[in-house]
Amino acid sequence: MNEEKFQRRLTRERAARKEAEQLLEVKSLELWQLNQDLESQVNIRTNELEIALKEAQIAVKSKGEFLSNMSHEIRTPLNAIIGFVDVMAKMNYDKTKFDKFLNIIQTSSYNLLTIINDILDYSKIQSGKLTIHKVNVDVSVFMMGVFELFSSQAQKKEINYSFTSANNIPNFILLDDTRVSQVMSNLISNALKFTPQNGMVNVHLEYIEDKGSLVISVSDSGIGIDEQAIHKIFEPFEQEDSSTTREFGGTGLGLPICKKLVKLMDGILKITSTKGEGSCFSFELPVASGESIEVKALEVDAESLRGHILVAEDNAMNIMLIEILLEEFGLEYTIVSDGQSAVEAVRKEKYDLVLMDNQMPILNGIEATKSIREFDVTIPIIAVSANVLKNDHQDFLNAGMNDALTKPIDRDALNSMLAHYLS
């Protein structure tokens, strides 16, 4: 009996031992697998961190080069502006020299403005705040208008500058004329910049009927781009190489902005290039047919504008500029230097229009407009501000302003705005 009990006990112990061994084997296998998985995850994460580190280092280098380049690009036109203004202030009046210097100052100022606009546009695109607004466009008038902007530049450089068009182009189409003009201008400007004297730049327009798309091409006989470097030119803060930046200048944002704008318009931007022979940039946009529009020329001269303008502005230089322009237009004006004074002036006297700065003491432009609208809902109020983002413009409208002008003040834009509200 004892022997039988012993054998049963022995059998149970053997079974328990075997079960324990099997369990240990399973757990060991699970542990080994967990260890393998952990090692794999560590390796993957390590690789990811190494890649991220390299990308961060590249980004830091690119942005460092961009900042250095940007400093150069901004300081260069500023140097010309400040330098020639200083020269003009100290020299005896000579009309020929003054006209030459003024042209340099004007060109440098526009270059500086272009740089600032590029930075703002890129920021708006990155934050998703830039939207596309399609309007009805007379194709021939619009395209030739953009093309002619660069005729003088091409002539000075003695470049064979031409425009060609297919025969099937619709007369009117719907597109965002501002952004298409921006892309075209950038591509044409680059083509002229990188094409040597006596070279060729051609702007070509065609229409793909079965796709309903417009194709705009800019080809040149310039320096061309190395095939391995083509991908770099569409990256922000990049050019083909640093020597290109030193020789030709530029922010490194123009082509990235163009690529993103074309994408926002549901289009495709393409490039073909041969080093030393030239390049062709083209972009294809889906377009819808527009309607024939009657264009009425708005002829505005000093004699046609009448009215008493209230100007709310606290910057002395801006005041001087507005005074000169309003006197040129033959308009009567009153100047106040803060928002509260603007409110009191409108309350006491009748004005035909208010030009309202936003950043002012006591009350800013938005606050002053809201106060005015409490007792006068009819007087046109135009924001004149350096705040240029879309939400800024909407804030002006929400406050009760009728429209907005962007600083720096463009004479023709101011003229058209005044004509619209004073006619």
Whole-angstrom distance, CA of residue 87 vs CA of residue 421 = 40
Q: Evaluate whether 119 touches 157 at the Cβ level (below 8 Å).
A: no
Q: Strand, coil or helix: what is 269?
A: strand
pLDDT of residue 394: 80
pLDDT of residue 374: 93
pLDDT of residue 390: 56
Q: Where are the alpha helices (DSSP H) in 289-355?
A: 316-328, 339-348
For the record, the structure tokens of 422 come out as: 């004073």
Beta bridge partners of 383: 356, 404
| Amino acid letter, 204 | H
| Terminal alpha carbon distance of the chain | 124
For the record, the structure tokens of 21 come out as: 């061994």
| Amino acid letter, 393 | H
For the record, the structure tokens of 69 come out as: 């380049």
Whole-angstrom distance, CA of residue 417 vs CA of residue 268 = 35
Overall size of the chain counted in residues: 423
C-alpha closest to that of 194 among 114, 271, 121, 119:
271
For the record, the structure tokens of 35 come out as: 């260890």
C-alpha closest to that of 62 among 255, 250, 242:
242
Q: Evaluate whether 220 touches 268 at the Cβ level (below 8 Å).
A: no
DSSP 365-378: HHHHHHHHHTT-SS
Give the number of other CB atoms < 10 A from CB of residue 342: 30
C-alpha closest to that of 392 among 382, 410, 404:
404
Q: Evaluate whether 193 touches 220 at the Cβ level (below 8 Å).
A: no
DSSP summary character for residue 378: S
Half-sphere exposure of 378 (CA within 13 A, CB side): 5
Whole-angstrom distance, CA of residue 389 vs CA of residue 102 = 30
Whole-angstrom distance, CA of residue 36 vs CA of residue 25 = 16
Q: Strand, coil or helix: what is 129?
A: coil
The domains found in the chain, sorted by start residue, are 19-126 (1.10.287.130), 135-289 (3.30.565.10), 308-422 (3.40.50.2300)
Whole-angstrom distance, CA of residue 157 vs CA of residue 172 = 33
Which residues does the chain have with pLDDT short of 50? 240, 242-248, 293-300, 302
Q: Evaluate whether 250 touches 239 at the Cβ level (below 8 Å).
A: yes
pLDDT of residue 156: 87
pLDDT of residue 387: 66
Q: Strand, coil or helix: what is 19?
A: helix
pLDDT of residue 67: 54
pLDDT of residue 304: 64
